[in-house]
């Protein structure tokens, strides 16, 4: 470990982070959770800095969350919506990167439909780049906010919350197309949890064990004794062809109903990154289950976690002592 607690210029993938770096970002986020719970939620930490949110794919929570995070830290935040853009990897994407770079942003937050596109743009610009989701590759801030929400819930229950060792987390849904699943497997296993993934065979990526997750196709078996159940949406926009027989059949086998949740560990925690398809992968009475569902807490934690990421990644630009020099990885 170098002098800095977080040795990266960019935040592209959980896979690039060390366990202590994940924990550092979670620890840093806690001050912003506290600030966000106050009536006056503004500091001038990033005053004078410009943050560009460049979203080439639809988003509700993530875009709003990054925008609020930047504004609460006092930065000038500009949103570029390109949801209908036909930009794909290649020249046009590089041109976009060069354009963003020329505007002298101090941080760029990017969502793109192609896996690897955010990393490519990062290699062409001079400022920190934050990945807000690239295709089915990674969604690092989602995994970090999920870990933060879990930490708060475990602490509320009087449990050890800084190390997830012994915790069994079942992630169920369209694992094949999910960047959330990928980032969460990497982050939760780094924090010590045992991760099970469950999907119909057609939606289970080959070789998922290599990431450290245990694959299941039988949801009931995957739920047995689970402490946390994280449900994922069918990523229809990334499917080229028929992957499931019908939404009705899918719900029957892989939907989280109240009866099914009873198969998991006592008081198992329910999570979902949103957007939810109620009545498909999750029933409303489970999604809204008081004391068990932390879905709205995930959204709350998202703002604080993104404030922490924007703060940490702009420390070099701001000349914060100890962060201004040396090599970055
Ligand atoms: N919002 C998450 C994402 O952008 C999950 C989803 O869309 O299903 O990946």
pLDDT digits (tens, 9 = 90+) for 280-298: 999 999 999 999 999 999 9
Top mutation candidate among 140, 178, 302 for ligand 1, by most atoms within 8 Å of CB: 178
Distance between CA atoms of residues 30 and 293, nearest Å = 20
* Residue 104: other Cβ atoms inside 10 A: 10
Report the pLDDT value the prediction gives residue 2, as an integer from 0 to 100. Answer: 46
Confidence of residue 1 (pLDDT cuts 50, 70, 90): very low
Rounded-to-5 percentages of helix, strand, coil across the chain:
40, 15, 45
Report the pLDDT value the prediction gives residue 140, as an integer from 0 to 100. Answer: 98
Whole-number Å distance, alpha carbon 276 to ligand 1 midpoint, is 9
Report the pLDDT value the prediction gives residue 88, as an integer from 0 to 100. Answer: 52
Considering only CA atoms, which residue is closest to atom 8 of ligand 1? 233
pLDDT tens digits, one per residue of 7-20:
999 999 999 999 99
Q: Residue 237: CB partners within 8 Å, gap ≥ 6?
A: 113
Q: Cα-flanking dihedrals φ and ψ of residue 161, to 5°? A: -120, -5
State yes or no: pLDDT of 327 exceeds 80. no
What element of type H or E holds 247?
helix 247-254
pLDDT tens digits, one per residue of 197-239:
999 999 999 999 999 999 999 999 999 999 999 999 998 888 8
Bridge partners, 111 (sequence order): 55
Ligand 1 atom index nearest CA of 57: 4
Instruction: Determine the 3-state secondary structure of 259 from DSSP.
Output: helix
Distance between CA atoms of residues 263 and 253, nearest Å = 14
Distance between CA atoms of residues 99 and 271, nearest Å = 38
Where are the extended beta strands (E) located within the chain? 50-55, 76-81, 107-112, 129-134, 168-172, 194-198, 213-216, 228-231, 269-271
CB 273 less than 6 A from any atom of ligand 1: yes
Q: Are 78 and 106 in contact (CB under 8 A)?
A: no
Ligand 1 atom index nearest CA of 179: 9
pLDDT tens digits, one per residue of 93-110:
888 889 889 999 999 999
Q: Closest Cα to residue 16, out of 191, 183, 194, 192? A: 183
pLDDT tens digits, one per residue of 117-157:
999 999 999 999 999 999 999 999 999 999 999 999 999 99
Q: Closest Cα to residue 12, out of 134, 182, 105? A: 134
CB 133 less than 6 A from any atom of ligand 1: yes
Confidence of residue 90 (pLDDT cuts 50, 70, 90): low
Ligand 1 atom index nearest CA of 139: 9
Q: Which two tokens stand for residue 245?
A: 């027989």
The DSSP bridge pattern shows strands 76-81 and 50-55 to be parallel
Report the pLDDT value the prediction gives residue 58, as an integer from 0 to 100. Answer: 85
Report the pLDDT value the prediction gives residue 328, as an integer from 0 to 100. Answer: 74
């Amino acid at each position: 470990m170098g002098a800095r607690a977080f040795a990266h210029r960019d935040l592209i993938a959980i896979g690039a982070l060390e366990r202590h770096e994940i924990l550092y970002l979670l620890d840093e986020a806690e001050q912003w959770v506290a600030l966000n719970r106050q009536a006056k939620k503004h500091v001038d930490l990033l005053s004078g800095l410009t943050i560009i949110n460049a979203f080439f794919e639809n988003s509700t929570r993530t875009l709003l969350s990054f925008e609020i995070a930047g504004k609460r830290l006092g930065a000038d935040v500009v949103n570029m919506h390109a949801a209908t853009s036909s930009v794909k990897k290649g020249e046009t994407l590089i041109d976009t990167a060069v354009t963003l770079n020329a505007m002298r942003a101090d941080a760029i937050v990017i969502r793109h439909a192609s896996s690897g596109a955010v990393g490519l743009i990062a290699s062409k610009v001079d400022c920190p780049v934050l990945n807000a989701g690239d295709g089915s590759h990674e969604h690092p801030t989602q995994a970090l906010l999920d870990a933060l929400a879990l930490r708060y819930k475990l602490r509320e229950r009087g449990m050890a919350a800084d190390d997830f060792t012994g915790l069994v987390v079942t992630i169920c849904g369209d694992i094949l197309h999910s960047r959330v699943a990928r980032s969460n497997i990497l982050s939760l296993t780094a924090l010590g949890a045992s991760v099970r993934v469950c999907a119909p065979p057609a939606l289970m990526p080959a070789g998922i064990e290599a990431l450290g997750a245990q694959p299941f196709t039988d949801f009931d078996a995957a739920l047995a004794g689970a402490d946390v159940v994280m449900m994922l949406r069918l990523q229809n926009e990334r499917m080229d062809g028929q992957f499931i027989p019908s939404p009705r059949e899918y719900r029957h086998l892989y939907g989280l109903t109240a009866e099914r949740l009873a198969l998991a560990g006592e008081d198992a925690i329910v999570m979902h990154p949103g957007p939810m398809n109620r009545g498909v992968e999750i029933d409303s009475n489970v999604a809204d289950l008081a004391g068990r569902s932390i879905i709205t807490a995930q959204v709350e934690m998202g703002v604080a976690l993104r404030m922490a990421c924007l703060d940490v990644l702009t420390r070099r630009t701001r000349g914060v002592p100890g962060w201004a020099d040396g090599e970055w990885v």
